[in-house]
Amino acid sequence: MSFNTFGKLFRFTTWGESHGPAIGCIVDGCPPGIYLSEKEIQVDLDRRKPGKSKFTSQRKEADKVEILSGVFHGKTTGTPISMIIYNKDAKSRDYETIKNKFRPGHADYTYFLKYGIRDYRGGGRQSARETASRVAAGAIAKTVLKKLIGKKFKVIGGVIQLGLLGCNKNNWNDKEIQKNPFFCPDKKAIKLWEKYLLAVRKAGSSCGAVIELRASGIPAGLGSPIYSKLDSDLAGALMSINAVKGVNIGAGMNAAFLGGEENSDEIRNVKGKTKFKSNNAGGILGGISSGQQIVASFAVKPTSSILNMRETINKKGKNTKISVRGRHDPCVGIRAVPIGEAMMSCVLLDHYLLNRGQCG
Amino acid sequence: MSFNTFGKLFRFTTWGESHGPAIGCIVDGCPPGIYLSEKEIQVDLDRRKPGKSKFTSQRKEADKVEILSGVFHGKTTGTPISMIIYNKDAKSRDYETIKNKFRPGHADYTYFLKYGIRDYRGGGRQSARETASRVAAGAIAKTVLKKLIGKKFKVIGGVIQLGLLGCNKNNWNDKEIQKNPFFCPDKKAIKLWEKYLLAVRKAGSSCGAVIELRASGIPAGLGSPIYSKLDSDLAGALMSINAVKGVNIGAGMNAAFLGGEENSDEIRNVKGKTKFKSNNAGGILGGISSGQQIVASFAVKPTSSILNMRETINKKGKNTKISVRGRHDPCVGIRAVPIGEAMMSCVLLDHYLLNRGQCG
Amino acid sequence: MSFNTFGKLFRFTTWGESHGPAIGCIVDGCPPGIYLSEKEIQVDLDRRKPGKSKFTSQRKEADKVEILSGVFHGKTTGTPISMIIYNKDAKSRDYETIKNKFRPGHADYTYFLKYGIRDYRGGGRQSARETASRVAAGAIAKTVLKKLIGKKFKVIGGVIQLGLLGCNKNNWNDKEIQKNPFFCPDKKAIKLWEKYLLAVRKAGSSCGAVIELRASGIPAGLGSPIYSKLDSDLAGALMSINAVKGVNIGAGMNAAFLGGEENSDEIRNVKGKTKFKSNNAGGILGGISSGQQIVASFAVKPTSSILNMRETINKKGKNTKISVRGRHDPCVGIRAVPIGEAMMSCVLLDHYLLNRGQCG
Amino acid sequence: MSFNTFGKLFRFTTWGESHGPAIGCIVDGCPPGIYLSEKEIQVDLDRRKPGKSKFTSQRKEADKVEILSGVFHGKTTGTPISMIIYNKDAKSRDYETIKNKFRPGHADYTYFLKYGIRDYRGGGRQSARETASRVAAGAIAKTVLKKLIGKKFKVIGGVIQLGLLGCNKNNWNDKEIQKNPFFCPDKKAIKLWEKYLLAVRKAGSSCGAVIELRASGIPAGLGSPIYSKLDSDLAGALMSINAVKGVNIGAGMNAAFLGGEENSDEIRNVKGKTKFKSNNAGGILGGISSGQQIVASFAVKPTSSILNMRETINKKGKNTKISVRGRHDPCVGIRAVPIGEAMMSCVLLDHYLLNRGQCG
Residue positions counted in chain A? 360
Q: Which residue of B has its CA nearest to D112?
A: B77
Average pLDDT on A28-57 reads: 92
Q: What is the predicted pLDDT for the residue at A31?
A: 95
Q: What is the predicted pLDDT for the residue at A359?
A: 58
Touching A: which chains, 3+ CB pairs < 8 A?
B, C, D
**Chain B residues touching D32 at Cβ < 8 A:** 115-117
Percent of chain A with pLDDT over 70: 99
CA distance D257 to B72: 50
Using the Cβ of A307 and the Cβ atoms of chain B, whether some distance falls under 8 Å is answered with no
Residue type, A335: R
3-state secondary structure B302-316: CCCCCCCCEEEEECC
**Parallel, antiparallel, or unpaired: how do β-strands A11-16 and A5-6 relate?**
antiparallel
Q: What are phi and psi of D273, to 5 degrees?
A: -115, 145
Beta strands in chain C (DSSP E): 5-6, 11-16, 22-28, 65-67, 71-72, 75-76, 81-86, 154-162, 165-166, 209-216, 244-249, 267-270, 273-276, 284-285, 288-289, 294-300, 310-313, 319-322
Q: What is the predicted pLDDT for the residue at C2?
A: 61
Q: What is the predicted pLDDT for the residue at B60?
A: 84
Q: Do C208 and D255 touch (CB under 8 A)?
A: yes
Q: Give pTM, 2 decimals.
A: 0.97
Q: Do A69 and C14 touch (CB under 8 A)?
A: no
> Each residue of B10-54: pLDDT tens digit?
999 999 999 999 999 999 999 999 999 999 999 999 999 888 888
Q: What is the predicted pLDDT for the residue at D90?
A: 78
Q: Do C246 and D246 touch (CB under 8 A)?
A: yes
C-beta contacts of C273-278 below 8 A and 24+ residues apart = C274/D109, C274/D313, C274/D317, C277/D311
Inter-residue contact B358 to C9 (CB < 8 Å): yes
| Nearest alpha carbon to residue D112 among B77, C274, B69, C273 | B77
Q: How many CB atoms lie within 10 A of CB C73?
A: 8
| Nearest alpha carbon to residue B163 among A262, D189, D296, A166 | A262
Q: What is the predicted pLDDT for the residue at D2?
A: 61
- Residues 206-225, chain C, touching D (beta carbon < 8 A): 206-210, 220-221, 223-225
What number is the ipTM of this complex? 0.97
Q: What is the predicted pLDDT for the residue at B259?
A: 96
**Chain C residues touching A22 at Cβ < 8 A:** 68-69, 82
Q: What is the predicted pLDDT for the residue at B295?
A: 98
Q: Which of D15, D78, D80 sits opposite B80 (nearest CB)?
A: D15
| Nearest alpha carbon to residue C244 among C332, C119, C308 | C332
Inter-residue contact C5 to C12 (CB < 8 Å): yes
Using the Cβ of B305 and the Cβ atoms of chain D, whether some distance falls under 8 Å is answered with no
**Sites in chain C below the pLDDT cut of 70:** 1-2, 359-360
CA distance C300 to C333: 5
**Chain C residues touching B78 at Cβ < 8 A:** 358-359
Inter-residue contact B344 to B155 (CB < 8 Å): yes
CA distance D50 to D62: 9
**Chain A residues touching D9 at Cβ < 8 A:** 354, 357-358
Q: Do A4 and C23 touch (CB under 8 A)?
A: no
Using the Cβ of D32 and the Cβ atoms of chain A, whether some distance falls under 8 Å is answered with yes
| Cis peptide upstream of residue A226 (ω within 30 degrees of 0) | yes
Q: Which residue of A has its CA nearest to B300?
A: A256
Q: What is the predicted pLDDT for the residue at B1?
A: 53
| Nearest alpha carbon to residue C301 among C342, C322, C326, C332 | C332
Using the Cβ of B202 and the Cβ atoms of chain A, whether some distance falls under 8 Å is answered with no
Q: What is the predicted pLDDT for the residue at B57?
A: 82
**Chain A residues touching C13 at Cβ < 8 A:** 5, 13, 26, 28, 80
Q: What is the predicted pLDDT for the residue at C360?
A: 42
Using the Cβ of D321 and the Cβ atoms of chain C, whether some distance falls under 8 Å is answered with no
Using the Cβ of B9 and the Cβ atoms of chain C, whether some distance falls under 8 Å is answered with yes
Q: Which of B239, B318, B359 sits opposite A235 (nearest CB)?
A: B239
pLDDT higher than 60, residue B359? no
Residue type, B50: P
Using the Cβ of D127 and the Cβ atoms of chain B, whether some distance falls under 8 Å is answered with no
Q: How would you label A312-337 residue by residue, b for 16+ Cβ within 10 Å and e otherwise? A: bbbeeeeeeebebebbbbbbbbbbbb
Residue B271 CB-density burial (10 A; 0-12 exposed, 13-18 middle, 19+ buried): exposed
Q: What is the predicted pLDDT for the residue at D153?
A: 98
CA distance C325 to C310: 12
Q: What is the predicted pLDDT for the residue at C1?
A: 53
> Each residue of A99-113: pLDDT tens digit?
999 999 999 999 999
How close, in Å, is residue C169 to chain B by CA atoms? 37
- Confidence band for B328, pLDDT divided at 50, 70 and 90: confident
pLDDT higher than 70, residue A210? yes
How close, in Å, is residue C27 to chain D by CA atoms? 15
How close, in Å, is residue C20 to chain A by CA atoms? 6
Q: What is the predicted pLDDT for the residue at B360?
A: 42
CA distance A308 to A320: 14
Q: Which of D22, D26, D29 sits opposite B15 (nearest CB)?
A: D26
Q: Do A69 and C119 touch (CB under 8 A)?
A: no
| Lowest-confidence pick of A46-55, B182-191, B219-228, D146-155 | A46-55
Q: What is the predicted pLDDT for the residue at B2?
A: 61
Q: For residue C24, what are the β-bridge partners?
A: C15, C84
Using the Cβ of C35 and the Cβ atoms of chain A, whether some distance falls under 8 Å is answered with no
pLDDT greater at residue B121 or residue D130: D130
Using the Cβ of C327 and the Cβ atoms of chain D, whether some distance falls under 8 Å is answered with no
Inter-residue contact A167 to A297 (CB < 8 Å): no
* CB within 8 Å of C199: residues ≥ 6 apart: none
How close, in Å, is residue D115 to chain B by CA atoms? 6
Q: What is the predicted pLDDT for the residue at A1?
A: 53
Max Cα distance, chain B (Å) = 71
How close, in Å, is residue A127 to chain D by CA atoms? 29
Q: What is the mean pLDDT of chain A?
A: 95
Using the Cβ of B354 and the Cβ atoms of chain C, whether some distance falls under 8 Å is answered with yes
Q: Which residue of C has its CA nearest to A69?
A: C16
B·C CB contacts under 8 A: 39
Using the Cβ of C38 and the Cβ atoms of chain A, whether some distance falls under 8 Å is answered with no
Dihedral of the alpha carbons of C189, C191, C195, C197, in degrees to the nearest 10: 50
**Sites in chain D below the pLDDT cut of 50:** 360
